[in-house]
Amino acid sequence: MKYAFSFLAVMALVMIAGLGSQIPGMPYLFGVALPYLAIMIFLGGSVYRVVQWGKSPVPFSIQTTCGQGKSLDFIKHNKLEAPNTTAEVVARMFLEVVTFRSLFRNTKSEIYDGPKITYESSKWLWLFALIFHYSFLVIVLRHMRLFLDPIPFWVGWIETLDGIFQVGAPNWYITDVTILLGCVLLFSRRIATRHVRFISLMNDYFPLVLIFTIALTGILMRYVLRTNIDIVNIKQLLVGLVTFSPTIGAEIGAIFYIHLFLVCALLAYFPFSKLMHFAGVFMSPTRNMKNDSRAKRHVNPWNPRILPHSYAGYEDEFREFMVDAGIPVEKELAPKKDEE
């Protein structure tokens, strides 16, 4: 039922925007006030989370490795799995961010009759993640044509490559299909895989449903409900938002306000969710630290200064109690002088 609440929450957002935008005076709220508020929450919340992560002390070298670290010259060093220099750390981080390298090594375990347990390679999550993230990135870059005037030349290149199959009119974009496919695959994995379903929470399902609905409303605007929107007024509004001089046109269309409101909800939700891994991956000490524990000693700077206490001093302090308890001592207890 956790995923059902996610569907209900997104449907409630759709109804709020669809009905609310039809009330006189409310388009300004949905088209201007809420976008500015969502952007402020997104930027402020993201900066706050990054600063809090940056303030977290990491005195020890705790990077995650699965390869041979730097040691003697005749022992082969795995530079990507156990980076020893800044350049090697940068290379590792680049591959992690661009290709999800660690996710490519994902494995799954299965128990068979016997009982017998096996470990097998599982590349599906890596593939689903690539499809989803790169589709999301391309769509965001394509949308820059609505916010910038004049339109940068690279936006045209992206649109040409994205619509290279030239199917339909208007031209179908590849990422319009793959973003929906990626959401469905990631959502289905959480439903179909028993142990993943067990640990999944509502905040795991909600972003997927929300992003799927955002993509779906965008596709409806472009390919189905084109006569219900005014792209000129939309462009004027979005450029106005960027230049802090927004203007609400007369006939923008309810579907656009639904789409924009869902985007605002995603932006406002971002800093408080697991979606912050887009910044967290750069702040993770298990990824951004050198594996140099053999060459450099990492000392906790705020360790309390404890004076040494030798065993001889300990015995001198507690010798009488140790003898009374029958504990052997290295130095016998001095005989007591007879009282006169």
Burial tier of 328 (Cβ tally within 10 Å: 0-12, 13-18, 19+): exposed
The pLDDT, as a whole number, for residue 338 is 59
| 184-225 pLDDT, tens digit each | 999 999 998 888 889 899 999 999 999 999 999 999 998 888
pLDDT average, residue stretch 253-268: 94
pLDDT band at 25 (very low <50, low <70, confident <90, very high): confident
pLDDT of residue 340 exceeding 80? no
User: In this model, does residue 232 exceed pLDDT 80?
Assistant: yes
| Superfamily (CATH H level) for 2-303 | Transmembrane di-heme cytochromes, Chain C (1.20.950.20)
pTM of the model: 0.85
Considering the chain, what percentage of its residues have pLDDT values greater than 70? 98
Q: Can you give the pLDDT at residue 165?
A: 84
Specify the pLDDT at position 94. 94
**Mean pLDDT of the chain, nearest integer:** 89
233-244 exposure pattern, b = at least 16 Cβ within 10 A, e = fewer? bbebbbbebeee
Rounded percentage of the chain residues whose pLDDT exceeds 90: 49
Six-digit token string for 236? 């004027």
pLDDT at 337: 63
Separation between Cα atoms, residue 233 and residue 241, nearest integer Å: 12
DSSP secondary structure string for all residues of 110-173: EEETTTEEEEEE--HHHHHHHHHHHHHHHHHHHTHHHH-SSPPHHHHHHHHHHTTT--TTTTPP
Average pLDDT over residues 240-259: 88
Whether residue 280 has pLDDT greater than 50? yes
Residue 237 · residue 252 · CB < 8 Å? yes
Cα separation, 1 vs 322, in Å, equals: 64
Check residue 178 and give its pLDDT. Answer: 95
36-62 pLDDT, tens digit per residue, is 999 999 999 999 999 999 888 888 888
User: What secondary structure does DSSP assign to 244-278, as a single string?
Assistant: T-----S---HHHHHHHHHHHHHHHHGGGSGGGHH
Question: Sign of dihedral through CA atoms 295, 301, 307, 310?
Answer: negative
**Residue boundaries of the structural domains of the chain:** 2-303, 311-335
pLDDT of residue 215: 96
